Structure 1
């Protein structure tokens, strides 16, 4: 009988859970679990490290247990993790297709919208 912690689903993962590199060295703790709500897909975790908040993609999350999250990252990889960024936001530009050109007229006729990424 081993004293290994029990595996859990990402939905049961708690903030503050230690996050480890592939060799078992802790490099941070879970700050948040990211999920694509529309399709209920695990996207990754936000990790609080001594160097600030970092993002670990779901592809690099190996084992999730009651005691820790073990990633597939080496210690060097973990040190190079990016900061989390917000998802881009797009808005329809209502001023598009307002001209009198043939392309603008077809755009209005067929409802072609032009989406602009917010900065």
Structure 2
């Protein structure tokens, strides 16, 4: 007999292939939301997590809670109770990676690397 459950027919993919609107599932398979966007720094291949749309607004799922990503869904290790307690994204600004912002050997580059969060900049709207 062939197993046609979503878990057996979905092909695993990398986080870089995730698209907006992909279902996000709790560990029991119930849908807890849909992907809004992936939080990543592709220059250093860092997956931080995903922002998801839920019935209570946009929430953050940390990379540690993402079990596996397939063509059909993001399978998390969250229980339904964990999903209810997901935090809202922190801050009001959206940041993008900018590895060249504080590059070089100059004094301002050194201060940028020492006192600011390297690799991130404000997104231009």
TM-score by length of 2: 0.67
Bigger Rg, which one: 1
Q: Does 1:63 align with 2:68?
A: yes
Distance change >3 Å, CA 2–CA 81, structure 1 → 2: same
* Long gaps (5+) in structure 2: 96-109, 117-125
The number of residue pairs the alignment matches comes to 95
Residue 83 of structure 2 aligns with which residue? 78
Aligned-pair RMSD on alpha carbons? 2.6
TM-score by length of 1: 0.70
Distance change >3 Å, CA 115–CA 20, structure 1 → 2: same
| Cα deviation, residue 2, structure 1 | 3.9
Residue 23 of structure 2 aligns with which residue? 18
Residue 44 of structure 2 aligns with which residue? 39
Distance change >3 Å, CA 77–CA 40, structure 1 → 2: same
* Long gaps (5+) in structure 1: 90-110
